[in-house]
Structure formats: structure tokens, C-alpha cells
Amino acid sequence: MDFQYIVEILPYILQGLKTTVQVFGFTLLLSIPLGILIGSVQSIKMPFINQGLSAYTWLFRGTPLLLQLYFGMYGLPAFGFTFNRITVAILIFTLNYGAYFTEIIRGSILSISKGQTEVSLSLGFTKSQTFFYVIIPQALKRSLQSITNEIITLVKDTSLIAAIALNDLLRNAKEVVSRDFRVEAFFVVGAIYLIFTLLIVDGAKKVEKKYAFYR
Amino acid sequence: MIEVKNIKKSYGDRVVLNNVNLQFQKNNITVLLGKSGEGKTTLFRIIAGIEAQDEGQVVIDNSKTTMVFQDNQLYPHLNVFNNLVLPQRVILKRNKKEATIVSESILKRLNIEYLKYSTVESLSGGEAQRVAIARALAMDKEIILFDEPTSALDRENTANLIGLLKNLKLDKTVLIITHDEEFSIGVADTIYRIECGEIKKA
């Protein structure tokens, strides 16, 4: 390994990391609340609204994320909506991951026993109080591991934004490799992705500990 | 006197409760005795306000009753103390101090102060039931309904429960459904039998 070379290429690769972190961070910040909101609404039985929301999750889970990115970048302008690249990336990623989070949350809510609702009503909680104080806290706890998995997938999926000409971590590394005919850059980004996911796994463990069911 | 009048309830073609009339006295323990599938639980859920009857009338305010479930249904995301505190704070709008005082005195009354910071997961069947009773008591309701309270208890715990229920009737009205004859005789002031959706006084 030629460390001097790595030090040389690192600033450019880290520039890409900035974009990657930006898309990752905003997506996380927006898609989890979106998933909680839609997943909650879907767990209540409301025929028309549910069908519409099912169509949403079906659309975004049923087509490639890459296609969705292309549509956001090149399709939306045809309908008169033009955004800058980073906004498109964050928008599409949020909708896509929101769909996955929706299904996770919905499933967890439905897995909480009906007795929990009944006992709450019998104590005197209203339906919405039951939902916020009893059901949602338990559902979130149950969702934690699946959510962590999705977050790790998100780290790696951010590399797709290169397809709409955003200079993310991986794209910058690839440019370095093409320019210099040397592969060290790939090892560097590989290491950065690994550190990134390690931080997430570590953080998730802390959150899990903090919100442990049984304390 | 608390009254249930002409209650009818069917699920589709199946008549579960057919013209049920029932009276129970304040500060008494009334037991509804019957095999499973005789409509006991349905009647209970109607009295507790969890389910609606097709016809008839329950002459008590739902807001005055609460129910202790067969499987206790404690809140697994909270410890014992917070199982008692959360409903008081949200429903009765008690402040933290009031809720703490009430909870502590009830835990003491049921001899389970030592469980205050225990996790729900760590409780034995008998302990979990006491916590469920404590949580119900903290809500200051007049009438407490018990659904099959002996189903998960051994003899010793059943004897303890009978003692506890007799203590409760000093200031509460207790209604129990069970299939356990021995327990009924040990605890009840009045026993009704329920058969095929109809009530007979024993």
C-alpha cells in the first residue's frame, strides 16, 4: 500500500462522502416519520385511504430504486416539475424508504395483541390515547431491528445517486480509479462504507438498550 | 344495587346471551359460574363496555367499571410502577406526585412493594395478577370485573387471591366469572350459574 497516494486521493473521495451523508441523513430524517405516519394510518381500517396507501407502498417497493431515480430526474421535468439533483435524490429515497418503513411499522402494530387495546379501553384510555401510549411504543420497539437493517441498506443504496450524476463516495472513487489506473481508491471507499455501517450497528445497539422492553 | 337487564347478544346465527338478567350488590363479591363457551366472557365484556349488546341494558356507567383480564395484559414496555402510573397520569390527569403516592399505597396494600421496579417479564403468574389488580385499583373505579382469575394460579396462590378479594370488597364491588366451583364457594357472596346463555341463581 502506498500511503502517500492514499493521502493524495482522500480529499476528493471525502468530498463524495459529504454528498452521500447528506442524502443518507435527510432520507433517514424524513422517511422514518413518514413510515410511522403512514404505517399507523394503515393499521386503522379505512377502506379507501388504505387502498391508496397500499398502492403507494406497492409502487415504491415494486419498482427498482434506480428507475425511480431516473423518473425523478428525467421524468418529472416532463410534467413541469424540476428540482436540483440532490433534492430529487432525497425526495425519491425518502418515498422509497418511507414505503419500506411503512410496511415494517404496520406489521409491528398489527402484531401487538388485541388484549392490550382492550385492557387499555377498560382502564379508561381513549382509542387514540391507547394508540400513542400503549401500541406505538411497543410497535417501535418491535420494529427496531428491521429498521436497523433498512438503514444499513440505505447506506449502500446511496451509491445509486451516481446514476443521476451526483458525485457520491463511490462515484468519486471510481473516477480516481479510471484516472490513475490504480485500485486503492476502491479499498478506501470499502473501508469508509464499513466504518459507516459499523457506526450504525453500534448506534442501533445503544438505542435498543435504551428502549429495551424490559427494564 | 347494580343491574343488568334483558341482555341479548348473538354472533351471526349463534345466540350467545339470551335475555340475561343479573343483579349484584355493592361491596359484595358476585360470581358468575359456568363452563367455557357459555357466554360468560361476552357478558363480561358487555358490562365492561368493551363490547356492545344487541338488546337490553346495563344499569351502570361503563366509566365506573374496569376489568382484570385472564392473561393480565400488563404493559410489557413499562415496569410495574409505570404500569400503575401511566393510566393515572393520562386518564385521570394526576400529576407525578399524586400518581406516585397512589401507586405506592396500592402496591403496599397488595403486599407487592418489592415488585415496584420489576420488569413485567420477570413476574410470576401470581405476581403479574396482583400487579394487574393494582393497576385496576389505581383507577378508582367502583366495580372491578375479574375474568377467570384462578386460571393461572396454584392452590396457594388461589387461597391468597381469595383473601385479597375479600379485602377488596371493603371498598369495591367485585364481579367474577370463573369455571372453578371450589374457588366460587370460597369467595362469593352470591353465585349465579350461566348455562346456554341464560342465568340461574345457584
Q: What is the pLDDT of residues A89-99, one digit of tens each?
A: 999 999 999 99
Say yes or no: B71 contacts chain A, CB-CB below 8 A.
Answer: yes
Per-residue pLDDT, A215:
40
Tell me the pLDDT band of A109, cut-offs 50, 70 and 90: very high
Q: What is the pLDDT of residue B202?
A: 65
Question: pLDDT at residue A150 above 80?
Answer: yes
So what's the pLDDT on residue A1? Answer: 67
User: DSSP secondary structure string, B153-166?
Assistant: --HHHHHHHHHHHH
| Mutation to test the B interface, candidates A109, A112, A121, A122, most B Cβ within 10 Å | A122
How far B48 CA lies from chain A's nearest CA (Å)?
6
Closest by Cα among A148, A54, A138 to A102: A54
SS3 content of chain A, % helix, strand, coil (to 5): 85, 0, 15
The amino acid at residue B109 is R
Please state, in angstroms and rounded to a whole number, the distance separating the CA atoms of residues A53 and B118.
41
pTM value > 0.95: no
Residue A66 has pLDDT above 90, yes or no: yes
Stated as kind and residue range, the H or E segment containing B9 is strand B2-11
C-alpha to C-alpha distance for B65 and B173, rounded to whole angstroms: 9
* pLDDT tens-digit series, residues B100-111: 999 999 999 899
Q: Per-residue pLDDT averaged across A106-122, rounded? A: 93
Contacts of A129 in chain B (CB under 8 A): 90-91
Length reported for chain A? 215
- Confidence (pLDDT) at A60: 96
pLDDT-derived band at B119 (thresholds 50, 70, 90) equals: very high
Among the partner-chain residues A119, A137, A213, the one whose CB lies closest to the CB of B73 is: A119
Grid cell listed for B154: 396454584
According to DSSP, residue A112 is labeled S
Instruction: Indicate the range of A115-124, B50-59, B138-147 predicted with least confidence.
Output: B50-59
pLDDT of residue B16: 84
Taking an 8 Å cut-off on Cβ atoms, the answer to whether A124 and B63 are in contact is: yes
- The answer to whether A54 and A202 have CB atoms below 8 angstroms apart is no
- Show residues of chain B in contact with A140, CB under 8 Å: none
Q: Is there a contact between B68 and B147 (Cβ–Cβ < 8 Å)?
A: yes
The pLDDT assigned to B15 comes to 84
User: What cell numbers appear for B90 in the block?
Assistant: 393520562
Angle, nearest 10°, between helix axes B125-137 and B80-91? 20
What ipTM was assigned to the predicted interfaces of this complex?
A: 0.88
Say if the Cβ atoms of A213 and B122 lie within 8 Å: no
For residues A190-196, give the mean pLDDT. 95
List the end-to-end C-alpha distance of chain B, in Å, as a whole number. 19
Q: Does B152 touch chain A (CB under 8 A)?
A: no
Determine the distance in angstroms separating the CA of B132 from the nearest CA of chain A, rounded to an integer: 10
B69 touches chain A (CB under 8 A): yes
Task: Tell me which amino acid residue A124 is.
Answer: G
Q: List b or e across A161-174, with b for residues whose CB sees 16 or more CB atoms inside 10 angstroms.
A: bbbbebbbbbbbbb
pLDDT band at B35 (very low <50, low <70, confident <90, very high): confident
- B90 in contact with A at a CB cutoff of 8 Å? yes
Round the average pLDDT of chain A to a whole number and report it.
92
Give yes or no for B77 touching A (CB within 8 A): yes
Question: Does B51 lie at the interface with A, CB-CB under 8 angstroms?
Answer: no
A213 interaction partners in chain B (CB closer than 8 Å) = 76-77, 119, 121
Cα distance between residue A193 and residue A169, in whole Å:
9
Q: pLDDT (tens digit, 9 = 90+) per residue, B136-191? A: 999 999 899 999 999 888 888 899 899 999 998 888 999 999 999 999 999 999 99
